[in-house]
């Protein structure tokens, strides 16, 4: 039987053999994975634990927080605060950045996360997840401020997510392809189950919230309308549709079998660039998708090239199989 490779061993080899990651980054990723394990336990307990229902509060985006949003946020902060690898953290659930307290050593990394993505699916027992992105503090910066986080996604040094579904699966890139780890609950560790994931360039499956159709812009309407016409339309092939409404689960499907995911700007809230957040949702997912041979744009520009103006900035997202993303992007015209 082939030897099982744990996440720890994979990361040690990335550090030692491939020279891709310094020891502090390895430690950081192990700690994030440990936090994901404990979030996964809280998710699994469901109504038997403290995890279900609303917390009765709102986050900075004006969204009602669920109990599990808050639990997952706390788990990630507590796990990462004391290790000495981080300078600060930022989260969908916190208005401003969280500095590592003075009583702990300060590291050079910045960690951003959406602690519990797909919150609307918690209470209905559908897949949810944690998304994370790691940046380096700019060279020579004294202390750390919010502006130190405002780096384009192309500067990420690690990115990933953990999806809590029928299995808990951690998907990771440090810039050397995408690796997938499945949580072995008996051993209590993540085990490498796939390496060098590749997304097919073509697909016949799209993911979009169709109920927003009347609010979309013309290029998105055109793209989806052509998919819906199937064999009889300009695409000459039938398309299938899937929408989990947890970005982690939709992206996981695309990394596994291809597809295209869209959460475009729409007329419901025209002043916002989109629903999804750039720095801790779109950037890490876009890097994973690109590392697996796919593409990710906001319709006009590669997502990883966007210079963020603020921490909780939103963005329009088209990502997945390369040829479909390029087609949908080309309908938007020049930037
Ligand atoms: P969340 O981070 O508050 O859970 O919101 C993000 C989620 C994404 O996971 C998902 O793609 C989208 O919101 C679903 O939106 P909709 O409710 O329009 O289907
Ligand atoms: Mg989210």
Task: Give distance in angstroms: CA of 281 to centre of ligand 2.
Answer: 6
DSSP string, 295-335: EEESSSSBGGG---SSTT-EE-EEEESHHHHHHHHHTT---
pLDDT in tens, 76-129: 999 999 999 999 999 999 999 999 999 999 999 999 999 999 999 998 999 999
63 lines ligand 1 (CB under 6 A): yes
Q: With 90 as the cut, is the pLDDT of residue 3 above it? A: no
Read off the tokens for 286: 């876009």
Asked which of 1-10, 205-214, 219-228 is least confident by mean pLDDT, the reply is 1-10
Protein residue with least CA distance to atom 19, ligand 1: 245
Read off the tokens for 27: 């430690």
Q: With 70 as the cut, is the pLDDT of residue 335 above it? A: no
What is the average pLDDT across 168-173?
98
Q: Smallest Cα–Cα separation from 304: which of 144, 291, 219?
A: 291
* Residue 121 CA, closest ligand 1 atom number: 4
Sign of the dihedral defined by the CA atoms of residues 209, 182, 50, 32, in that order: negative
Task: Give distance in angstroms: CA of 204 to centre of ligand 2.
Answer: 25
Q: With 90 as the cut, is the pLDDT of residue 41 above it? A: yes
Using an 8 Å Cβ cutoff, are 128 and 116 in contact?
Answer: yes
Task: Give the model's pLDDT for residue 257.
Answer: 96
pLDDT in tens, 231-274: 999 999 999 999 999 999 999 999 999 999 999 999 999 999 99
Task: Give the model's pLDDT for residue 61.
Answer: 72
* Residue 261 CA, closest ligand 1 atom number: 11
Pocket-testing residue among 91, 117, 260, ligand 1, by greatest number of atoms within 8 A of Cβ = 117
What is the average pLDDT across 59-85?
87
* Residue 211 CA, closest ligand 1 atom number: 18
Q: With 80 as the cut, is the pLDDT of residue 34 above it? A: yes
Pocket-testing residue among 57, 93, 263, 266, ligand 1, by greatest number of atoms within 8 A of Cβ = 263
Task: Give distance in angstroms: CA of 258 to centre of ligand 1.
Answer: 20
Q: With 90 as the cut, is the pLDDT of residue 55 above it? A: no
130 lines ligand 1 (CB under 6 A): no
The CA distance from 91 to 39, in Å, is 15
Task: Give the model's pLDDT for residue 334.
Answer: 62
Task: Give distance in angstroms: CA of 285 to centre of ligand 1.
Answer: 14
Q: Smallest Cα–Cα separation from 98: which of 84, 86, 85, 115?
A: 86
In the chain, the percentage of residues whose pLDDT exceeds 70 is 98
Task: Give distance in angstroms: CA of 77 to centre of ligand 2.
Answer: 17
Name the pLDDT band for 1 (thresholds 50, 70, 90): low
Q: With 80 as the cut, is the pLDDT of residue 59 above it? A: no
* Residue 118 CA, closest ligand 1 atom number: 4
What is the average pLDDT across 304-332?
98
User: Higher model confidence: residue 52 or residue 145?
Assistant: 145
Task: Give the model's pLDDT for residue 39.
Answer: 96
Task: Give distance in angstroms: CA of 245 to centre of ligand 1.
Answer: 5
Task: Give distance in angstroms: CA of 146 to centre of ligand 1.
Answer: 25
Pocket-testing residue among 69, 91, 163, 275, ligand 1, by greatest number of atoms within 8 A of Cβ = 275
Residue 243 CA: distances (Å) to CA of 24, 110, 206? 37, 31, 8
Which domains does the chain carry? 7-194 (3.30.540.10), 205-331 (3.40.190.80)
What is the average pLDDT across 60-72?
80
The CA distance from 53 to 123, in Å, is 7
């Amino acid at each position: 039987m082939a030897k099982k490779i744990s996440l720890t061993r994979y990361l040690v080899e990335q550090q030692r053999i491939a020279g891709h990651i310094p020891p502090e980054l390895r430690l950081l990723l192990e700690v994030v994975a440990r936090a994901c394990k404990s979030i996964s336990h809280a998710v699994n307990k469901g109504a038997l634990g403290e995890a279900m229902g609303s917390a009765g509060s709102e986050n900075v985006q004006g969204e009602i927080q669920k109990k599990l949003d808050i639990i997952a946020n706390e788990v990630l902060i507590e796990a990462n605060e004391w290790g000495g690898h981080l300078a600060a953290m930022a989260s969908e659930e916190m208005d401003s950045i969280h500095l590592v307290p003075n009583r702990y050593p300060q590291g050079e990394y910045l960690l951003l996360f959406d602690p519990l993505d797909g919150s609307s699916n918690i209470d209905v027992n559908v897949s949810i997840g944690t998304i994370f992105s790691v940046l380096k503090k700019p060279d020579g910066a004294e202390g750390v401020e919010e502006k130190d986080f405002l780096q384009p996604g192309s500067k990420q040094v690690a990115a990933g997510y953990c999806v809590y579904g029928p299995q808990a699966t951690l998907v990771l890139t440090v810039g050397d392809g995408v690796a997938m780890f499945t949580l072995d609950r008996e051993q209590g560790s993540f085990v490498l189950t796939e390496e060098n994931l590749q997304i097919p360039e073509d697909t016949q499956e799209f993911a979009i919230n169709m109920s927003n159709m009347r609010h979309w812009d013309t290029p998105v309407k055109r793209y989806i309308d052509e998919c819906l016409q199937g064999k009889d339309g300009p695409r000459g092939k039938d398309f299938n549709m899937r929408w989990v409404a947890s970005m982690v689960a939709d992206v996981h499907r695309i990394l596994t079998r291809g597809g295209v995911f869209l959460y475009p700007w729409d007329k419901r809230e025209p002043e916002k660039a989109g629903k999804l957040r750039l720095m801790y949702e779109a950037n890490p997912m876009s890097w994973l998708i690109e590392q697996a041979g796919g593409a990710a744009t906001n319709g006009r520009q590669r997502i990883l090239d966007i210079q963020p103006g603020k921490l909780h900035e939103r963005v329009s997202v088209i990502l997945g199989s390369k040829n479909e993303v390029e087609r949908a992007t080309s309908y938007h015209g020049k930037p």
